[in-house]
Amino acid sequence: MIEQIQKIKNELSSYEFKASDAAEKFRIHFLGSKGAIKGLYSLLRDVPNDQKKECGQQINALKEEAEQLLEQAKKQTSNTETKGAKEDLTKPTETKLGSHHPLSIIRREIIDVFRKIGFSVSEGPEIEDDWHNFSALNFPPEHPARDMQDTFFIEKGENEIALRTHTSSVQVRVMENSTPPIRTISPGRVYRNEAISARAHCFFHQIEGLYIDEGVSFADLKQTLLFFAQEVFGEKTKIRLRPSYFPFTEPSAEVDVSCTICKSKGCNVCKYTGWLEILGCGMVDPNVLEASGIDSKKYSGFAFGMGVERIAQLKYKVNDLRMYSENDIRFLDQFKSTL
């Protein structure tokens, strides 16, 4: 028995792990259910009683040695395979998904609402001439909006060129090149010469709407805006219209929605009034229709305009306008769930 133990011990000390599957072969040969060491345990019953203790101890020591060698072989094989492994170029990459910008999300949502009721989307240039940006919209020459404090002028003089101050210029182009009925919205970036702060910026985004046809009334305007407000802010949302003034509409109004934060009970966001301003609107001034070649005696229409950032502020409760243009990844990451 001692000789058999010594023989297996010599085999262990001289065993070489060459192939990648050598560790498994070693385990089967020495430690398997029919392996060499297992066989020694079965022979132990034939050993004289006075030698069983010593032989048992040697077999146990032999088994421990074999297990240690097997463990070392597994580690060595694993390290070798890792070093020699090549990158699998066909393996799919784990790419982190980005997110839509919050203004893009709101812009798309607003467009979808108006598309449901037949509005098309119109776009135009961001650099505009005086006619499309001011004169065709009934801005008199002395109007304050023409002053350098409000407008980024590129060229001054007879043919003034400026960065557009509203997307109403797109509506003028649509009216000049279309025959009523006209039903369109004009999303885009606009520019104002203002100091940048939490409540104002030198550029922002607008969506303006225009509907011209025979018999269009102020009631049509109110119902359209109520539909929009309830689609965006919830079916229980209420609106109110307050008299206002815009050169291109008459009569004109400011539109408020019931506060979505306090449910019209009054809070610091709505200044305890229960209402939040969202847009301006009105019936298209006959002078604007005539300037674009549309018969104001036959056709009437309404127009409205809203700031995308304003709607985003009310939806996401982010009240600092600068956050929308600074591209802070910590801010933008919060909108991944809205993809």
User: 166 and 26 in one domain?
Assistant: no
User: What pLDDT is recorded for position 299?
Assistant: 96
Specify if 62 maps to a domain.
Answer: yes
User: 196 and 51 in one domain?
Assistant: no
Neighbours of 229 (CB within 10 A): 22
User: 14 and 140 in one domain?
Assistant: no
Tokens 């609402």 locate to: 113
Dist. CA 107–CA 187, nearest whole Å: 8
Q: Greater confidence, 331 or 296?
A: 296
User: 56 and 164 in one domain?
Assistant: no
- Give the dihedral of Cα atoms 52, 56, 59, 63; nearest 10 deg: 160
Dist. CA 33–CA 49, nearest whole Å: 25
Model confidence at 87, pLDDT cuts 50, 70, 90, reads low
* pLDDT at residue 4 greater than cutoff 50: yes
Classify strands 127-129 and 153-155 as parallel, antiparallel or unpaired: unpaired
The last residue of a domain, from among 13, 47, 80: 80
Dist. CA 307–CA 208, nearest whole Å: 9
Q: How many domains does the chain have?
A: 2
Concatenate the DSSP letters of all residues of 235-288 into one string: TT--EEEEEEEETTEEEEEEEEEE-TTTTTS--TTTTTSSEEEEEEEEEEPHHH
Model confidence at 113, pLDDT cuts 50, 70, 90, reads very high
User: What pLDDT is recorded for position 339?
Assistant: 45
* pLDDT at residue 71 greater than cutoff 70: yes
User: What pLDDT is recorded for position 20?
Assistant: 60
User: 69 and 169 in one domain?
Assistant: no
> Mean of the pLDDT values across residues 51-71?
77
Specify if 95 maps to a domain.
Answer: no
Specify if 7 maps to a domain.
Answer: yes
Please measure the distance between the N-terminal and C-terminal CA atoms of the chain and give it in whole angstroms: 74
Token pair recorded at residue 95: 């790419």
Residue-averaged pLDDT of the chain: 84
Specify if 96 maps to a domain.
Answer: no
> What pLDDT digit, counting tens, does each position of 185-207 carry?
999 999 998 888 877 788 999 99
Helix (H) or strand (E) holding 61: helix 49-84
The percentage of the chain sitting over the pLDDT mark of 70, rounded to a whole number, equals 90
Neighbours of 123 (CB within 10 A): 11
CATH number of the domain enclosing 214: 3.30.930.10
Q: Greater confidence, 335 or 249?
A: 249
State the Cα angle at 147 between 189 and 200, rounded to 5°.
45
* pLDDT at residue 124 greater than cutoff 90: yes
User: 107 and 72 in one domain?
Assistant: no
Specify if 87 maps to a domain.
Answer: no
Specify if 210 maps to a domain.
Answer: yes
Specify if 89 maps to a domain.
Answer: no
User: 71 and 135 in one domain?
Assistant: no
Specify if 90 maps to a domain.
Answer: no
* pLDDT at residue 53 greater than cutoff 60: yes
User: 115 and 51 in one domain?
Assistant: no
* pLDDT at residue 8 greater than cutoff 80: no
Model confidence at 181, pLDDT cuts 50, 70, 90, reads very high
User: 61 and 136 in one domain?
Assistant: no
The percentage of the chain sitting over the pLDDT mark of 90, rounded to a whole number, equals 42
Q: Which domain holds residue 125?
A: 102-338
User: 219 and 143 in one domain?
Assistant: yes
Please provide residue 121's backbone torsions phi and psi, each rounded to the nearest 5 degrees.
-110, 130
* Integer angstrom CA distances of residue 45 from 41, 49, 150, 252, 299: 8, 9, 105, 108, 113
User: 273 and 226 in one domain?
Assistant: yes
The pTM assigned to this predicted structure is 0.67
User: 122 and 246 in one domain?
Assistant: yes
Where is average pLDDT lowest: 6-15, 185-194, 279-288? 6-15
In Å, the largest CA–CA distance within the chain is: 126
Model confidence at 321, pLDDT cuts 50, 70, 90, reads confident
> What pLDDT digit, counting tens, does each position of 88-100 carry?
677 777 666 677 8
* pLDDT at residue 148 greater than cutoff 70: no
Residues 182/275, Cβ–Cβ less than 8 Å: no
